[in-house]
């Protein structure tokens, strides 16, 4: 089962300078259901795919509220994500009690990254097998961070993690320049379109995705299924009107509706294969 003799311990370096157990934790993030995040100047939107283990079970919760101004979406081991979100919640409560002000998003992300890094340097611990997209709003504006199991963190305009996330990244890379000045509703629309790219032909419905928003004058909250379904229906109508002009074939109309231009649709398809786990 082991790749080689250097992956039995998280503190053992390979001759190539790699820590294989940290890489295995990062692979667990790629195996999880997709999560995406987008931000503008005033709002941040998180979205995730609801994936159940069987038709008889409910899906795992993938988006957690940390504070009124911070929320997270996870991909990977849900149990690890639940523990880390509780840690973040406690940090926000302690900071608010001490300083009577909200915890800055960047400071919380650094504390979370430090906590993850300790697990890569202790032989009796294992890395957290979960990636977190941290969305928040503070005095400096809206922020979207990605926290990696390796202890690294990055700030993004838009990002996607999890299974088949490369298709969503391809969509976001084509659109991200317009996100900064876009409206809240258009940001949610792009989030749903990005989620749709990860489904690989499956119909986008409110039951297979979760969307959360935080912004100026809008505390972090998860949109209810009815609201999400109404927005999906509205986008589908626009896509159906644009679809025939881009692709007359009825069978491929649904695929063309995600991106009316054929060359863009092909680019998204090319990004699917490498992440198909």
CATH number at residue 109: 3.60.20.10
CA 64, 137, 154, 271 torsion-angle sign? positive
Strands (E) across 127-184 are located at 130-138, 141-147, 153-155, 158-161
**Rounded to whole angstroms, what are the CA distances from 54 to 29, 30, 32, 35, 50?**
20, 20, 15, 20, 12
97-139 pLDDT, tens digit each: 999 999 999 999 999 999 999 999 999 999 999 999 999 999 9
Beta strand 43-49 with 158-161 is unpaired
Is 124 among the domain residues? yes
Is 108 among the domain residues? yes
Domain that holds residue 166: 27-240
Largest CA distance in the chain: 62
43-101 pLDDT, tens digit each: 999 999 998 887 888 888 999 999 999 999 999 999 999 999 999 999 999 999 999 99
Is 78 among the domain residues? yes
Cross-strand partners of 131: 75
Is 69 among the domain residues? yes
pTM for the complete prediction? 0.83
Other Cβ atoms within 10 Å of 157 Cβ, number = 14
Is 56 among the domain residues? yes
Is 142 among the domain residues? yes
Is 100 among the domain residues? yes
Q: Which of 184-198, 215-229, 231-245 has the lowest mean pLDDT?
A: 231-245
Give how many domains the chain has, as a whole number.
Answer: 1
Is 2 among the domain residues? no
């Amino acid at each position: 089962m082991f790749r080689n003799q250097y992956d039995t311990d998280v503190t053992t370096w390979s001759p190539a300078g790699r820590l294989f157990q940290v890489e295995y934790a990062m692979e667990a993030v790629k195996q999880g259901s997709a999560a995406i995040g987008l931000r503008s100047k005033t709002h941040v939107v998180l979205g995730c795919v609801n994936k159940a283990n069987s038709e008889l079970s409910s899906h795992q919760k993938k988006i957690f509220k940390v504070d009124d101004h911070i929320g997270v979406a996870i991909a990977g081991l849900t149990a690890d994500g639940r523990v880390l979100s509780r840690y973040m919640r406690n940090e926000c409560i302690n900071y608010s009690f001490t300083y009577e002000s909200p915890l800055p998003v960047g400071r919380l992300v650094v504390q979370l990254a430090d906590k993850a890094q300790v697990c890569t340097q202790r032989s009796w611990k294992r890395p957290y097998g979960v990636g977190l997209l941290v969305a928040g709003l503070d005095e400096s504006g809206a922020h979207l961070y990605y926290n990696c199991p390796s202890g690294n963190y990055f700030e993004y305009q838009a990002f996607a993690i999890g299974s088949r996330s490369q298709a969503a990244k391809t969509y976001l890379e084509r659109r991200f320049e317009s996100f900064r000045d876009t409206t809240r509703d258009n940001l949610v629309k792009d989030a749903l379109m990005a989620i749709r790219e990860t489904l690989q032909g499956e119909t986008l419905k409110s039951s297979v995705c979760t969307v959360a928003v935080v912004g100026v004058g809008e505390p972090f909250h998860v949109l209810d299924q009815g609201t999400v379904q109404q927005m999906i229906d509205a986008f589908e109508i626009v896509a159906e009107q644009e679809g025939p002009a881009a692709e007359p074939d009825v069978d491929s109309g649904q695929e063309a509706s995600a991106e009316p231009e054929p060359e863009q649709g092909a680019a998204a398809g090319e990004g699917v294969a490498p992440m198909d786990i």
